[in-house]
Chain A
Amino acid sequence: MLELKLEARPQPSRFWSYGSPLLALALTTALGAVLFALLGKNPVQGLLVFFWEPVKSGYALGELMVKATPLLLIALGLAVCFRSNVWNIGAEGQFIIGAVFASGMALLADRDTGRWIVPLILLAGVAGGMVWAGLTAVLRDRFNANEILVSLMLVYVADMVLNYLVYGPWKDPMGYNFPQTKTFELVTQIPRLMPGSRVSIGLLLALLGAGALWLFLFRTRAGLAQQVGGLAPAAARYAGFSSRRALWTALLVSGAAAGLAGALEVAGPIGQLTPYVPAGYGFAAIIVAFVGRLHPVAMVFSAVLLSMFYIGGELAQSRLGLPKSITGVFQGLLLFTLLACDTLINYRLRRSAGSH
């Protein structure tokens, strides 16, 4: 019988380390077309909604960037974590608490407040994200508690903190009893890049962040120390690199990035704190990070791709009458196919005759 066998490559394939995300995207697209067909929709029309509509006009491109901004920011932080083998999967919680802190600052503004409030809002978001990620760091560092489970449990806790505030003390008294804060003062609005689009300076911050991460990872000794601990703990100890330091750096950096994303979101496109602030960016950013190979430049592209999935899902709802949650199906499929395709980096497929 003819069967396929995996054969280890002498060294990892450079070609497939870049080819695998593209192959995964092609497979996800094909599976998506099958899914549309199964649902009785025209596959071509379905795919156009995901891959053409979000880029076909200036306004659409702007919306694409609005959603790519938080995804990229969070993914940059997660890349530091994953590169140092710290499994922070609770960025969603750090995003929420960042949004909460930023909202607390934004709610302090009144009619006489100056534009100086904007940097304070952003700093508050950063602080919120760092506090929340810091909890995971303390529990991992002092108590050896598994950071995967702790950071994830803290997402649910963060969600409840947000809900408590908008149903309780921060509820807008004039808001017809809706669980949301009052709309923030206009002065708190994150500056936009150009009229007619919702793209804000957040996009610039995210791109600057990508540049900074590139420098840190590939051009500094601290960046090297950060990653060696993840790859080879023994070598890191021998070289005098501290794993505790790497743990704290990874979590604080990713908390800061996710918190900043939360601040940009509440003081940007949303303009108030509501229970709908968490949109799953913290989880989608995990996929952004993996698809972008944890590389600052590649993650810019994967953030745009995942943003397309978000916008495609919204359009699929309004145009094709499909539930918006199709976004999650596509996200999951992409990560699954990517992991499967990554096998090709270390193994090659060989046909072998018979079993032995």
Chain B
Amino acid sequence: MESYALLLAATLNAGTVLAIAALGLLINEKAGVVNLGAEGMMLCAALAGFATVVHSGSDWLGFAAGMGAGALLAALFGVLVIWLNTNQYATGLALSLFGLGFSAFAGIGYVQAKLPERVQHHIPWLGDIPWLGPALFRQHPLVYATMLFCAALIWWLYRTRAGLVLRSVGESPESAHALGYPVRRIRLLAVVTGGALCGLSGAYLSVVYTPLWVEGMVAGKGWIALALTTFATWRPSRALLGAYLFGGVTMLQFHLQSVGVDVPSQWMTMLPYLATILVLALISRNPAWIRINKPASLGRPFHPGA
């Protein structure tokens, strides 16, 4: 029983990494921009966050540094894609390749570095409840903040004027432009927000979840987060649930090993990637279902003033 509580706790923790990134990517996809650079932004942010904590000793400064790194790279991507009209796929790919190379290069001195002692989080009273305490109430504050953020995002996207404007920019940039909204500026803002959240996710990974820095440590989580937005048919609540589901799949390997299931570790490591392929295939099987839910101008450039 106790091991299931730990599995649930680990699932929430792993799911949070994916959830933060997926919600960020969902915001810029709602505005019509696909950023395949998620993996590269997360890697650079993981390094920036880790290095900042090593030098400053403050986790929160580390998160801020990660967000800054993600936002900066996303801004570069955004200017290229939105103002210079470069291909979104190719540019995102360039960002991922650059981020992989740059973080490996710049991070070489941090591979052996150690963080200050990690704090064990524990909500008073709730954390002491048998089973439920260790499963749910001994998490990092960002785990709960992510859930709150998801709720706030749902309200903002579907219940506020600003959310409506963001969605209209992704559905029909021409109409939004005709109504006088600065489509390109809104898209850039959405891309930078998405980058900042991918950055926070990367920093959470290297500062809280792992916590260490190794070359290529994001290991495809940026790509899985991208897949999650499709899996969620661009709805925040489903993205959050999907992230926990994938967090669970990631953690399953450790759980199965601890209960003595004898499968080579490599097959276990494959699980999240295979699961991503599987859910993509299942969710995309019906093209009409995707077409209805997808922001109509996703991936399409917008040229104003024509």
Contact = CB atoms under 8 A, between A and B. Distances in A.
Interface in B185-234: 215, 219-220, 223-224, 226-227, 230
A146 B98 contact: no
Interface in A100-159: 139, 143-146, 148-150, 152-154, 156-157
A23 to B, nearest CB: 14
B87 A164 contact: no
A329 interface: yes
Given A157-B270, A329-B105, A168 B264 contact: yes
Contacts of B95: 332, 336
Interface in A160-179: 160-161, 163-164, 167-168
Interface string B259-277: 0000010110110011011
A314 interface: no
A168 B264 CA distance: 8
A340 B84 contact: yes
Interface residues of B, number: 50
Contacts of A154: 273, 277
A156 B219 contact: yes
Contacts of A287: 97
A94 to B, nearest CB: 15
Interface stretch (B132-140, B153-161, B281-289): B281-289
Interface string B28-43: 0000000010001000
A343 B86 CA distance: 7
A328 to B, nearest CB: 2
Contacts of B127: none
Q: How large is the interface on A (under 10, 10 to 19, 20 to 34, 35 or more residues)?
A: 35 or more
Shortest 10 CB-CB distances between A and B: which pairs? A328-B101, A332-B98, A325-B104, A164-B266, A143-B281, A335-B94, A343-B84, A325-B105, A160-B266, A144-B284
Given A139-B281, A157-B274, A283 B97 contact: yes
Contacts of A346: 85
Contacts of B76: 336
Contacts of B93: 89, 286, 335
Interface string A313-351: 000000000110111111111011001101100110000
Contact of B97 (A143, A157, A160, A335): A335
Question: Which of B83, B219, B266, B267 has the most chain A CB atoms inside 10 A of its CB?
Answer: B266
A87 interface: yes
5 contacts: A146-B284, A153-B223, A160-B266, A332-B102, A336-B91
- Looking at B215, B219, B230, B273, the one whose CB has the most chain A CB atoms below 10 A away is B273
Given A144-B290, A152-B223, A160-B267, A340 B80 contact: yes
A290 interface: yes
Contacts of B224: 153
A6 interface: yes
A323 B36 CA distance: 26
Given A157-B273, A332-B94, A150 B280 contact: yes
Contact of A336 (B94, B282, B290): B94
A6 B84 CA distance: 8
Contacts of A328: 97-98, 100-102, 104-105
A152 B80 CA distance: 23
B90 interface: yes
B99 interface: yes
A153 B220 contact: yes
Nearest to A287: B97
Contacts of B80: 336, 339-340
A139 B285 CA distance: 9
A148 B84 contact: no
Contacts of B274: 153, 157
A164 B264 CA distance: 7
Contact of B104 (A6, A146, A156, A323): A323
Given A149-B280, A283-B97, A287-B97, 6 more contacts: A144-B285, A149-B230, A149-B277, A154-B273, A323-B105, A328-B102
Contacts of A332: 40, 94-95, 97-102
A164 B219 contact: no
A340 B86 contact: yes
